[in-house]
């Protein structure tokens, strides 16, 4: 019996439509035959290098066609893919490599030195050079179609936690497959679709584009970094869907000026946290088919997305659940609340991660409690009101205050610290730290943080205070800090 299994995406896709374009990246254009042949070769090299089934293989690289090969090759070799954020510091990388007990780190030329450093500190062998891993060679011929189990682990992606350290969210083949199916059932699937990936492929938002494309048999235009003019140019060259976060969309509109958008562009999928209403209106006025989505790493990207026909009518909401998922709002007593009432957003369904790597999961009823606050209207449209547990979202990156506070408290002069997000017209939010220090003057906390935290997590503003607001149980009241900020400090 087949059971809950299905063909591996790329393997089957290369058999069904080998001649369709799979990847475009600068001068590179690969068909699915080309991509699969490269993946087979790279996977073979990983197996030869002694990578065992289920081993965690971390990858630290900027967007490139070669990175797409590695993203498919690691699971093809039977290993679990751990994509690392290239903006992390060495300390952060070392911690994640240790937490997932990685067997190997693969790094591109831009990350080579940092990767070598991190691998050495984590007690790993020297990083494998990404370019060498995907270098041309004699590929083996395709064997039997590879079937994978829905429960097999495909990816571990670190997502910042409330306890000060990121957690490795496990995503299975089933999670990714149903996410891709759910997205197609909402956004449709057209012959000749070309999805522009300008988001980092190490994020679930970028990674999921590669997976969808293989399942759908459509092309991906991979962009190195984010250049608004380059994304606009890719749209003009026939890109039909593009995934963006609010600051990206804003810059794309800025550089576009008054030029219109081609009719081939059928969806601008806007994720990465609440978008300013002004930006939404501006995009719609410019004729962009913007569709808002609410996504989570723990749910393999999209949780809810507006249906295209509702994009304007329901502007500002993030739509309804994908087909294979269900969304509820939970009240303080843990029971669902009626429409219109605020509460915690909970999700269940085929896209929801079974848990965090090596951490027990308590989810007997299948509902993932997101910690985010929202409400459903009577028609079932979700509005996200506040991100989970004081989460700060800046330029599409999630930042947990607890992680930044823990670093600040490591400074010998810092007695206490509280971190919140302040509204930022461009990035959505920016990080602000309130600190209690020993002595009169503020030490150079920005340099201290920058050495230990990814740049996007580093506070832009430090506010010295006598003491931090805490409740009777000693719990930091970040809402009080946000209130003070709103009142001008």
Of 363, 388, 409, 482, the one binding a second copy by CB under 8 A: 363
The C-alpha atoms of residue 464 and residue 440 are separated, in whole angstroms, by 9
Q: Which of 238, 354, 371, 469 binds a second copy (CB under 8 A)?
A: 354
Binding-residue pattern over the window 58 to 97 for a second copy, x denoting contact by CB under 8 A: ----------------------------------------
- Is residue 359 a contact residue for a second copy (CB under 8 A)? no
Does 264 sit near a second copy (CB under 8 A)?
no
Q: Kindly state whether residue 185 participates in binding a second copy, applying the rule CB under 8 A.
A: yes
Give the contact letters, 134-173, x = binds to a second copy (CB under 8 A), - = no.
-----------x----x-----------------------
User: Which residues between 300 and 339 bind a second copy (CB under 8 A)?
Assistant: 307-309, 320-321, 323-324, 326
Token pair of 249 as six digits: 């969309």
120-125 contacts, C-beta under 8 A, 24 or more apart: 121/90, 121/94, 122/93, 122/94, 122/97, 122/98, 124/97
Please select the residue that binds a second copy; options are 29, 90, 189, 286, rule is CB under 8 A. 189
Q: What angle do CA 76, 79, 83 make, to 5 degrees?
A: 95
Phi, psi values for residue 424, rounded to 5°: -135, 130
Residue 188 or 489: which CB sits closer to a second copy? 188
b/e per residue, 440-465, with b = 16+ CB within 10 A?
A: eeebebeebbeebbbebbbbeebbeb
Selected range binding a second copy among 63-71, 176-184, 255-263, 477-485, rule: CB under 8 A: 176-184
Residue whose CB is less far from a second copy, 85 or 186: 186
Instruction: Select 94 or 242, whichever has its Cβ closest to a second copy.
Output: 242
Are the beta carbons of 262 and 287 closer than 8 angstroms? no
Q: Residues near 97 by Cβ (< 8 Å), separated by ≥ 6? A: 58, 84, 105, 118, 119, 122, 124
- Please tell me the number of Cα atoms within 13 Å of 301 on its side-chain side: 30
Judged by CB, which is closer to a second copy: 308, or 443? 308
| Number of residues near a second copy (by CB under 8 A) | 41
Rounded Cα gap, residues 59 and 63, in angstroms: 11
Q: Is 350 in the site for a second copy (CB under 8 A)?
A: yes
- x-or-dash pattern for a second copy, window 370-399, by CB under 8 A? ----------x-------------------
- Among the listed residues 30, 95, 178, 462, the single contact to a second copy using CB under 8 A: 178
Considering beta carbons, is residue 2 or 138 the nearer one to a second copy? 2
Q: How far apart are CB 208 and a second copy at their closest, in Å?
A: 16
Q: Is 2 in the site for a second copy (CB under 8 A)?
A: yes
Distance CA 178, CA 349 (A): 9
Distance from C-alpha of 403 to C-alpha of 166, rounded to nearest angstrom = 8
Q: Name the residue nearer to a second copy (CB basis): 331 or 455.
A: 331
Q: Is 15 in the site for a second copy (CB under 8 A)?
A: yes
DSSP symbols for 394-438: ETTEEE-HHHHHHHHHHSTTEEEEEEEEEEETTTEEEEEEEEEES
Alpha carbons 37 and 210: distance in angstroms, whole number? 16
Would you say 158 or 216 has its CB closer to a second copy?
A: 216
d(CA 155, CA 300): 10
Where along the sequence are the contacts to a second copy (CB under 8 A)?
1-2, 4-7, 12-13, 15-17, 145, 150, 178, 181, 184-186, 188-191, 215-217, 307-309, 320-321, 323-324, 326, 348-350, 352, 354, 363, 366, 380
């Amino acid at each position: 019996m087949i059971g809950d299994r299905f063909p591996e995406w790329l393997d089957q896709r290369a058999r069904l439509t080998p001649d369709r374009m799979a990847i475009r990246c600068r001068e590179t254009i690969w068909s699915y035959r080309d991509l699969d042949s490269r993946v087979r070769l790279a996977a073979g090299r990983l197996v030869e290098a002694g990578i065992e089934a289920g081993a965690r293989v971390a990858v630290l690289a900027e967007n490139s066609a070669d990175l797409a090969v590695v993203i498919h090759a690691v699971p093809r070799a039977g290993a679990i893919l751990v994509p690392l954020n290239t903006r992390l510091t060495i300390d952060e990388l070392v911690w994640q490599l240790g937490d997932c007990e990685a067997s190997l780190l693969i790094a591109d030329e831009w990350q080579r030195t940092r990767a070598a450093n991190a691998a050495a500190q984590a007690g790993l062998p020297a990083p494998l050079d990404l370019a060498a891993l995907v270098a041309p060679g004699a590929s083996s011929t395709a064997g039997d179609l590879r079937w994978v189990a829905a429960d097999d682990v495909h990816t571990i992606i670190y997502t910042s936690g409330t306890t000060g350290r990121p957690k490795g969210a496990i995503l299975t083949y089933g999670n990714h497959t149903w996410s891709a199916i759910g997205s197609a059932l909402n956004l449709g699937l057209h012959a000749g679709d070309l999805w522009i990936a300008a988001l980092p492929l190490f994020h679930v938002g970028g990674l999921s584009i590669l997976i969808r494309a293989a399942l759908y048999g459509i092309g991906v235009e991979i962009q190195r970094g984010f250049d608004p003019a380059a994304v606009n140019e890719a749209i003009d060259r026939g890109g039909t869907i593009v995934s963006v976060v609010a600051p990206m969309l804003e810059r794309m509109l800025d550089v576009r000026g008054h030029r219109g958008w081609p009719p081939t562009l059928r969806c601008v999928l806007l994720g990465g946290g609440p978008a300013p209403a002004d930006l939404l209106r501006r995009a719609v006025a410019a004729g962009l088919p913007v569709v808002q989505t609410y996504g989570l790493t723990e749910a393999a990207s999209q949780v809810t997305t507006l249906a295209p026909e509702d994009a304007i009518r329901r502007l500002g909401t993030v739509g309804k659940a994908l087909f294979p998922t269900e969304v509820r709002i939970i009240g303080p007593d843990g029971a669902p609340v009626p429409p219109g009432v605020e509460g915690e957003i909970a999700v269940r369904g085929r896209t929801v991660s079974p848990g965090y790597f090596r951490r027990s999961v308590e989810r007997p009823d299948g509902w993932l409690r997101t910690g985010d606050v929202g409400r459903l209207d009577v028609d079932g449209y979700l509005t996200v009101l506040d991100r989970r547990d004081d989460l700060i979202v800046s330029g599409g990156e999630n930042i947990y205050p607890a992680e930044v506070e823990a670093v600040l408290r490591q400074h010998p002069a810092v007695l206490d610290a509280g971190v919140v997000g302040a509204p930022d017209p461009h990035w959505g939010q920016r990080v602000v730290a309130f600190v209690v220090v020993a002595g009169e003057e503020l030490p150079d906390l920005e340099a201290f943080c920058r050495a230990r935290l990814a740049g996007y997590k580093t506070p832009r503003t430090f506010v010295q205070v006598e003491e931090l607001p805490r409740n009777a149980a000693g719990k930091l009241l970040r809402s009080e800090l946000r209130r003070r900020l709103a009142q001008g400090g």
